[in-house]
A and B are shown apart, each in its own frame.
Chain A
Amino acid sequence: MTARLADFAGDNGLLVAFVFVGLVMAVAYALSRHVARGTVHGSAIAIALGLLLAFWAGADTGGTNGVADWPLLAGIGVLGGNMFRDFAIVATAFGVRLADLRAAGLVGALSILIGVVLSFAVGAAVAIGFGITDPAEIATIGAGAATYIVGPVTGASLGVSSSIISLSIAAGLVKAVLVMVTTPLVARRIGLDNPASAMIYGGLMGTTSGVTGGLAATDPRLVPYGAMTSTFYTGLGCLMAPSVLYLAVKALV
Protein backbone atom coordinates (compact mmCIF):
# COMPACT_ATOMS: atom_id res chain seq x y z
CA MET A 1 0.00 0.00 0.00
CA THR A 2 2.71 2.49 1.02
CA ALA A 3 4.85 1.51 -1.96
CA ARG A 4 1.84 1.87 -4.22
CA LEU A 5 1.11 5.33 -2.82
CA ALA A 6 4.75 6.41 -3.29
CA ASP A 7 4.67 5.20 -6.90
CA PHE A 8 1.39 6.97 -7.51
CA ALA A 9 2.71 10.21 -5.98
CA GLY A 10 5.84 9.88 -8.08
CA ASP A 11 3.87 9.49 -11.31
CA ASN A 12 1.79 12.57 -10.44
CA GLY A 13 4.62 14.52 -8.83
CA LEU A 14 3.72 17.97 -10.08
CA LEU A 15 0.10 17.66 -8.92
CA VAL A 16 1.21 16.51 -5.47
CA ALA A 17 3.56 19.51 -5.37
CA PHE A 18 0.66 21.92 -6.15
CA VAL A 19 -1.37 20.46 -3.27
CA PHE A 20 1.62 20.53 -0.90
CA VAL A 21 2.52 24.15 -1.66
CA GLY A 22 -1.14 25.14 -1.47
CA LEU A 23 -1.36 23.64 2.02
CA VAL A 24 1.87 25.32 3.15
CA MET A 25 0.57 28.66 1.86
CA ALA A 26 -2.78 28.17 3.61
CA VAL A 27 -1.10 27.38 6.93
CA ALA A 28 1.31 30.31 6.49
CA TYR A 29 -1.44 32.83 5.71
CA ALA A 30 -3.52 31.58 8.65
CA LEU A 31 -0.49 32.00 10.94
CA SER A 32 0.10 35.47 9.52
CA ARG A 33 -3.49 36.52 10.17
CA HIS A 34 -4.18 34.93 13.53
CA VAL A 35 -0.83 34.53 15.28
CA ALA A 36 1.32 37.31 13.83
CA ARG A 37 -1.78 39.54 13.43
CA GLY A 38 -0.55 40.81 10.08
CA THR A 39 2.87 41.97 11.29
CA VAL A 40 4.67 39.27 9.30
CA HIS A 41 3.60 38.74 5.70
CA GLY A 42 2.11 35.34 4.82
CA SER A 43 4.60 34.72 2.02
CA ALA A 44 7.51 35.30 4.42
CA ILE A 45 6.06 32.68 6.79
CA ALA A 46 5.45 30.30 3.87
CA ILE A 47 9.09 30.55 2.76
CA ALA A 48 10.28 30.06 6.35
CA LEU A 49 8.00 27.01 6.69
CA GLY A 50 9.44 25.64 3.43
CA LEU A 51 12.98 26.05 4.74
CA LEU A 52 12.04 24.46 8.06
CA LEU A 53 10.51 21.44 6.31
CA ALA A 54 13.60 21.24 4.08
CA PHE A 55 15.80 21.13 7.18
CA TRP A 56 13.67 18.38 8.71
CA ALA A 57 13.76 16.40 5.44
CA GLY A 58 17.53 16.80 5.13
CA ALA A 59 18.04 15.55 8.69
CA ASP A 60 15.65 12.66 8.05
CA THR A 61 16.80 11.46 4.62
CA GLY A 62 20.43 12.66 4.51
CA GLY A 63 19.74 13.93 0.99
CA THR A 64 20.56 17.30 -0.53
CA ASN A 65 17.20 18.27 -2.06
CA GLY A 66 15.12 19.08 1.00
CA VAL A 67 11.58 17.68 1.01
CA ALA A 68 12.06 16.46 -2.59
CA ASP A 69 14.06 13.57 -1.15
CA TRP A 70 10.90 12.19 0.47
CA PRO A 71 9.47 9.95 -2.30
CA LEU A 72 5.95 11.29 -1.71
CA LEU A 73 7.12 14.85 -2.36
CA ALA A 74 9.52 14.23 -5.22
CA GLY A 75 7.39 16.56 -7.36
CA ILE A 76 8.62 19.52 -5.28
CA GLY A 77 11.93 18.96 -7.02
CA VAL A 78 10.21 19.85 -10.29
CA LEU A 79 7.99 22.71 -9.10
CA GLY A 80 10.81 24.22 -7.02
CA GLY A 81 13.51 23.42 -9.57
CA ASN A 82 15.38 25.86 -11.76
CA MET A 83 13.06 25.50 -14.75
CA PHE A 84 9.87 26.65 -13.01
CA ARG A 85 11.79 29.17 -10.91
CA ASP A 86 13.25 30.90 -13.97
CA PHE A 87 9.93 30.65 -15.84
CA ALA A 88 8.08 32.39 -12.99
CA ILE A 89 10.79 35.02 -12.46
CA VAL A 90 10.63 35.96 -16.15
CA ALA A 91 6.83 36.16 -15.87
CA THR A 92 7.15 38.76 -13.09
CA ALA A 93 8.80 41.08 -15.64
CA PHE A 94 5.39 41.34 -17.40
CA GLY A 95 4.25 44.91 -16.86
CA VAL A 96 7.68 46.25 -15.90
CA ARG A 97 8.62 49.48 -17.62
CA LEU A 98 12.05 49.85 -19.18
CA ALA A 99 12.31 53.32 -17.65
CA ASP A 100 12.24 51.78 -14.15
CA LEU A 101 15.00 49.36 -15.08
CA ARG A 102 17.11 52.28 -16.25
CA ALA A 103 16.53 54.09 -12.95
CA ALA A 104 19.41 52.33 -11.22
CA GLY A 105 21.46 52.36 -14.42
CA LEU A 106 25.20 52.34 -13.91
CA VAL A 107 25.02 51.96 -10.13
CA GLY A 108 22.91 48.83 -10.59
CA ALA A 109 25.53 47.30 -12.85
CA LEU A 110 28.31 48.43 -10.55
CA SER A 111 26.55 46.88 -7.56
CA ILE A 112 27.13 43.42 -9.10
CA LEU A 113 30.88 43.98 -9.26
CA ILE A 114 30.95 45.48 -5.76
CA GLY A 115 28.79 42.64 -4.47
CA VAL A 116 31.09 39.91 -5.81
CA VAL A 117 34.27 41.57 -4.49
CA LEU A 118 32.65 42.40 -1.13
CA SER A 119 31.32 38.88 -0.47
CA PHE A 120 34.57 37.33 -1.60
CA ALA A 121 36.62 39.64 0.65
CA VAL A 122 34.39 38.96 3.67
CA GLY A 123 34.47 35.19 3.09
CA ALA A 124 38.23 35.19 2.56
CA ALA A 125 38.79 37.25 5.71
CA VAL A 126 36.69 34.80 7.74
CA ALA A 127 38.69 31.87 6.30
CA ILE A 128 41.96 33.58 7.31
CA GLY A 129 40.48 34.32 10.73
CA PHE A 130 39.76 30.60 11.17
CA GLY A 131 43.42 29.81 10.47
CA ILE A 132 43.37 28.76 6.83
CA THR A 133 46.65 29.73 5.14
CA ASP A 134 46.53 28.19 1.64
CA PRO A 135 45.52 30.93 -0.88
CA ALA A 136 43.52 28.49 -3.03
CA GLU A 137 41.50 27.36 0.02
CA ILE A 138 40.98 30.96 1.18
CA ALA A 139 39.77 31.91 -2.31
CA THR A 140 37.35 28.94 -2.39
CA ILE A 141 35.73 29.94 0.92
CA GLY A 142 35.56 33.55 -0.29
CA ALA A 143 33.91 32.37 -3.50
CA GLY A 144 31.41 30.34 -1.47
CA ALA A 145 30.42 33.51 0.37
CA ALA A 146 29.45 34.89 -3.07
CA THR A 147 27.08 32.05 -4.03
CA TYR A 148 26.99 28.29 -3.55
CA ILE A 149 27.76 27.88 -7.26
CA VAL A 150 30.78 30.19 -7.38
CA GLY A 151 32.36 28.29 -4.45
CA PRO A 152 32.59 24.82 -6.00
CA VAL A 153 33.41 26.20 -9.47
CA THR A 154 36.34 28.13 -7.98
CA GLY A 155 37.42 25.23 -5.77
CA ALA A 156 37.41 22.83 -8.71
CA SER A 157 39.49 25.11 -10.91
CA LEU A 158 42.00 25.77 -8.10
CA GLY A 159 42.16 22.06 -7.18
CA VAL A 160 41.33 22.25 -3.46
CA SER A 161 40.12 19.30 -1.35
CA SER A 162 36.47 18.27 -1.36
CA SER A 163 36.08 19.16 2.32
CA ILE A 164 36.95 22.80 1.54
CA ILE A 165 34.53 22.71 -1.39
CA SER A 166 31.76 21.44 0.91
CA LEU A 167 32.53 24.27 3.32
CA SER A 168 32.24 26.81 0.50
CA ILE A 169 28.89 25.35 -0.57
CA ALA A 170 27.70 25.50 3.05
CA ALA A 171 28.74 29.18 3.27
CA GLY A 172 26.74 29.92 0.10
CA LEU A 173 23.72 28.02 1.41
CA VAL A 174 23.84 29.93 4.70
CA LYS A 175 23.86 33.13 2.67
CA ALA A 176 20.89 32.08 0.51
CA VAL A 177 18.81 30.99 3.52
CA LEU A 178 19.67 34.10 5.56
CA VAL A 179 18.82 36.43 2.67
CA MET A 180 15.42 34.76 2.25
CA VAL A 181 14.58 34.99 5.95
CA THR A 182 16.04 38.37 6.91
CA THR A 183 15.23 40.55 3.87
CA PRO A 184 11.62 41.29 4.92
CA LEU A 185 12.88 42.13 8.43
CA VAL A 186 15.43 44.75 7.34
CA ALA A 187 13.79 45.96 4.10
CA ARG A 188 12.39 49.16 5.59
CA ARG A 189 15.62 50.05 7.39
CA ILE A 190 17.75 49.79 4.23
CA GLY A 191 15.21 51.59 2.03
CA LEU A 192 14.35 48.52 -0.03
CA ASP A 193 11.05 49.84 -1.38
CA ASN A 194 11.67 51.01 -4.96
CA PRO A 195 12.94 49.53 -8.25
CA ALA A 196 16.35 51.23 -8.04
CA SER A 197 17.19 49.96 -4.55
CA ALA A 198 15.86 46.49 -5.47
CA MET A 199 18.28 46.34 -8.40
CA ILE A 200 21.16 47.41 -6.16
CA TYR A 201 20.12 44.87 -3.52
CA GLY A 202 20.00 42.11 -6.17
CA GLY A 203 23.45 43.03 -7.40
CA LEU A 204 24.99 43.18 -3.93
CA MET A 205 23.46 39.91 -2.68
CA GLY A 206 23.72 37.96 -5.91
CA THR A 207 22.22 34.68 -4.70
CA THR A 208 19.24 34.26 -7.04
CA SER A 209 17.32 31.98 -4.69
CA GLY A 210 17.99 34.30 -1.75
CA VAL A 211 17.14 37.49 -3.63
CA THR A 212 13.97 36.20 -5.30
CA GLY A 213 12.81 34.55 -2.07
CA GLY A 214 13.63 37.62 0.01
CA LEU A 215 11.85 40.01 -2.35
CA ALA A 216 8.84 37.71 -2.65
CA ALA A 217 8.45 37.94 1.11
CA THR A 218 8.97 41.72 1.09
CA ASP A 219 7.15 43.07 -1.97
CA PRO A 220 6.58 40.84 -5.02
CA ARG A 221 6.51 43.89 -7.30
CA LEU A 222 10.24 44.34 -6.68
CA VAL A 223 11.15 40.81 -7.78
CA PRO A 224 11.96 41.49 -11.47
CA TYR A 225 14.32 44.33 -10.53
CA GLY A 226 16.33 42.28 -8.04
CA ALA A 227 16.36 39.30 -10.40
CA MET A 228 17.62 41.45 -13.25
CA THR A 229 20.94 42.19 -11.54
CA SER A 230 21.39 39.02 -9.49
CA THR A 231 21.18 36.91 -12.66
CA PHE A 232 24.59 38.28 -13.72
CA TYR A 233 26.23 37.81 -10.33
CA THR A 234 27.09 34.10 -10.37
CA GLY A 235 28.59 34.40 -13.86
CA LEU A 236 30.75 37.34 -12.82
CA GLY A 237 31.74 35.50 -9.65
CA CYS A 238 32.78 32.38 -11.59
CA LEU A 239 34.82 34.64 -13.86
CA MET A 240 36.57 36.67 -11.14
CA ALA A 241 37.00 34.35 -8.14
CA PRO A 242 39.39 31.77 -9.67
CA SER A 243 41.33 34.46 -11.54
CA VAL A 244 41.86 38.05 -10.36
CA LEU A 245 40.44 37.54 -6.88
CA TYR A 246 42.53 34.41 -6.31
CA LEU A 247 45.66 36.26 -7.52
CA ALA A 248 44.84 39.11 -5.15
CA VAL A 249 44.64 36.67 -2.22
CA LYS A 250 47.91 35.07 -3.30
CA ALA A 251 49.63 38.43 -3.44
CA LEU A 252 48.30 39.48 -0.03
CA VAL A 253 48.77 36.29 2.01
Chain B
Amino acid sequence: MPIYGVALLAACTLVGLFVGDLIGATMGLEANVGGVGIAMLLLITLTNLPGRRLEPGSPTGSGVQYWSLLYIPIIVAMAARQNVFAAVSGGVMAITAGALAVLAAFALVPVLSRWAQRP
Protein backbone atom coordinates (compact mmCIF):
# COMPACT_ATOMS: atom_id res chain seq x y z
CA MET B 1 0.00 0.00 0.00
CA PRO B 2 1.30 3.48 -0.85
CA ILE B 3 0.77 4.64 2.73
CA TYR B 4 3.48 2.21 3.84
CA GLY B 5 5.92 4.04 1.61
CA VAL B 6 4.81 7.47 2.84
CA ALA B 7 5.02 6.29 6.45
CA LEU B 8 8.49 4.82 5.87
CA LEU B 9 9.67 8.06 4.27
CA ALA B 10 8.19 10.17 7.09
CA ALA B 11 9.69 7.90 9.75
CA CYS B 12 13.16 8.08 8.13
CA THR B 13 12.91 11.87 7.87
CA LEU B 14 11.78 12.25 11.49
CA VAL B 15 14.47 9.93 12.88
CA GLY B 16 17.18 11.61 10.80
CA LEU B 17 16.16 15.14 11.74
CA PHE B 18 15.89 14.25 15.43
CA VAL B 19 19.31 12.58 15.45
CA GLY B 20 20.72 15.63 13.63
CA ASP B 21 19.14 17.84 16.27
CA LEU B 22 20.65 15.75 19.07
CA ILE B 23 24.11 15.87 17.44
CA GLY B 24 23.79 19.65 17.21
CA ALA B 25 22.70 19.91 20.86
CA THR B 26 25.59 17.67 21.98
CA MET B 27 27.98 20.05 20.25
CA GLY B 28 26.24 23.00 21.90
CA LEU B 29 24.85 24.32 18.59
CA GLU B 30 21.50 25.81 17.70
CA ALA B 31 21.65 23.97 14.40
CA ASN B 32 20.71 20.61 12.95
CA VAL B 33 23.85 18.68 12.01
CA GLY B 34 23.38 16.35 9.08
CA GLY B 35 19.77 15.43 9.83
CA VAL B 36 18.69 15.21 6.19
CA GLY B 37 21.83 13.24 5.32
CA ILE B 38 21.20 10.71 8.08
CA ALA B 39 17.56 10.39 6.97
CA MET B 40 18.64 9.75 3.37
CA LEU B 41 21.12 7.05 4.41
CA LEU B 42 18.40 5.45 6.52
CA LEU B 43 15.96 5.45 3.59
CA ILE B 44 18.58 4.05 1.19
CA THR B 45 19.42 1.28 3.67
CA LEU B 46 15.82 0.34 4.43
CA THR B 47 14.76 0.29 0.77
CA ASN B 48 17.72 -1.92 -0.18
CA LEU B 49 17.43 -4.62 2.48
CA PRO B 50 18.77 -7.93 1.10
CA GLY B 51 15.92 -9.81 -0.53
CA ARG B 52 13.41 -7.04 0.23
CA ARG B 53 14.41 -4.34 -2.25
CA LEU B 54 11.71 -1.72 -2.64
CA GLU B 55 11.00 -0.95 -6.32
CA PRO B 56 9.65 2.49 -7.37
CA GLY B 57 6.89 0.76 -9.37
CA SER B 58 5.56 -1.27 -6.46
CA PRO B 59 2.55 0.04 -4.49
CA THR B 60 4.70 0.77 -1.42
CA GLY B 61 7.45 2.29 -3.54
CA SER B 62 4.99 4.62 -5.27
CA GLY B 63 4.29 6.27 -1.89
CA VAL B 64 7.95 7.31 -1.71
CA GLN B 65 8.23 8.05 -5.43
CA TYR B 66 5.30 10.46 -5.32
CA TRP B 67 7.08 12.79 -2.88
CA SER B 68 10.27 12.54 -4.84
CA LEU B 69 8.31 13.75 -7.92
CA LEU B 70 6.84 16.63 -5.91
CA TYR B 71 10.33 17.81 -5.07
CA ILE B 72 10.58 20.57 -7.67
CA PRO B 73 7.16 22.12 -6.89
CA ILE B 74 8.10 22.16 -3.20
CA ILE B 75 11.38 23.88 -4.05
CA VAL B 76 9.44 26.45 -6.11
CA ALA B 77 7.27 27.08 -3.03
CA MET B 78 10.46 27.38 -0.97
CA ALA B 79 11.84 29.95 -3.43
CA ALA B 80 8.57 31.91 -3.24
CA ARG B 81 8.86 32.27 0.53
CA GLN B 82 12.49 33.42 0.68
CA ASN B 83 13.26 36.86 1.98
CA VAL B 84 14.44 38.04 -1.43
CA PHE B 85 13.62 41.65 -0.65
CA ALA B 86 16.11 41.66 2.25
CA ALA B 87 18.74 40.02 0.05
CA VAL B 88 18.38 42.61 -2.72
CA SER B 89 18.17 45.58 -0.36
CA GLY B 90 20.94 44.31 1.94
CA GLY B 91 23.42 46.88 0.65
CA VAL B 92 26.57 46.66 -1.41
CA MET B 93 28.64 44.90 1.26
CA ALA B 94 26.16 42.06 1.78
CA ILE B 95 25.73 41.58 -1.97
CA THR B 96 29.50 41.63 -2.58
CA ALA B 97 30.19 39.17 0.25
CA GLY B 98 27.46 36.76 -0.88
CA ALA B 99 28.33 36.99 -4.58
CA LEU B 100 32.08 36.53 -4.13
CA ALA B 101 31.51 33.53 -1.82
CA VAL B 102 29.40 31.91 -4.56
CA LEU B 103 31.99 32.69 -7.26
CA ALA B 104 34.84 31.25 -5.19
CA ALA B 105 32.90 28.04 -4.49
CA PHE B 106 31.96 27.61 -8.18
CA ALA B 107 35.62 28.01 -9.12
CA LEU B 108 36.67 25.24 -6.73
CA VAL B 109 34.10 22.64 -7.90
CA PRO B 110 36.16 21.48 -10.95
CA VAL B 111 39.39 21.55 -8.93
CA LEU B 112 38.07 19.22 -6.22
CA SER B 113 36.23 17.06 -8.79
CA ARG B 114 39.51 16.37 -10.57
CA TRP B 115 41.01 15.52 -7.23
CA ALA B 116 38.18 13.08 -6.48
CA GLN B 117 38.75 11.27 -9.79
CA ARG B 118 42.41 10.62 -9.05
CA PRO B 119 42.99 6.95 -8.19
Contacts and interface: CB of A to CB of B under 8 A. Distances in A.
Given A91-B71, A94-B68, A107-B115, A144 B97 contact: yes
Q: List 7 tightest A-B contacts by C-beta distance, closest first.
A: A170-B90, A58-B85, A174-B98, A235-B33, A80-B77, A50-B79, A173-B87
Interface of A: 17-18, 20-22, 24-25, 28, 43, 46-55, 57-59, 64-68, 73, 76-77, 79-81, 84-98, 101, 103-105, 107-108, 110-111, 114-115, 118-119, 122-123, 126-127, 129-130, 141-142, 144-146, 149-150, 153, 166-180, 182, 186, 190-192, 196-197, 200-201, 204-205, 208-209, 212-213, 216, 220, 223-224, 227-229, 231-232, 234-236, 238-239
A24 B109 contact: no
Contacts of B78: 50, 80-81, 85, 209, 212-213
B76 interface: yes
Contacts of A197: 109-110, 113, 116
A108 B34 CA distance: 14
Contact of B81 (A67, A110, A142, A172): A67
B101 A118 contact: yes
B2 to A, nearest CB: 13
Interface residues of B, number: 78
B83 A65 contact: yes
Interface SS, A side: helix
Interface SS, B side: helix
Nearest to A80: B77
Contacts of B100: 122-123, 126, 145
11 contacts: A21-B73, A43-B75, A55-B88, A66-B81, A85-B74, A86-B36, A118-B108, A126-B100, A196-B116, A229-B37, A232-B34
Given A24-B76, A174-B87, A231-B35, 9 more contacts: A80-B77, A87-B67, A91-B9, A96-B44, A174-B90, A190-B106, A204-B108, A220-B71, A235-B31
Contact of A94 (B56, B81, B91): B56
B80 A53 contact: yes
A126 B35 contact: no
Contacts of B71: 88-89, 91-92, 216, 220, 223
Nearest to B74: A88
Nearest to A98: B44
Interface of B: 9-10, 12-13, 16-17, 20, 23-24, 27, 29-37, 39-41, 43-44, 47-48, 54, 56, 61, 64-65, 67-68, 70-102, 104-110, 112-113, 115-117
Nearest to B79: A50
Contacts of A223: 71
A200 B78 CA distance: 23
Contacts of A212: 75, 78
B77 A204 contact: no
Contact of A204 (B48, B79, B105): B105
Contact of B74 (A77, A79, A208): A79
B102 A175 contact: yes
Nearest to A64: B83
Given A190-B106, A190-B110, A232 B101 contact: no
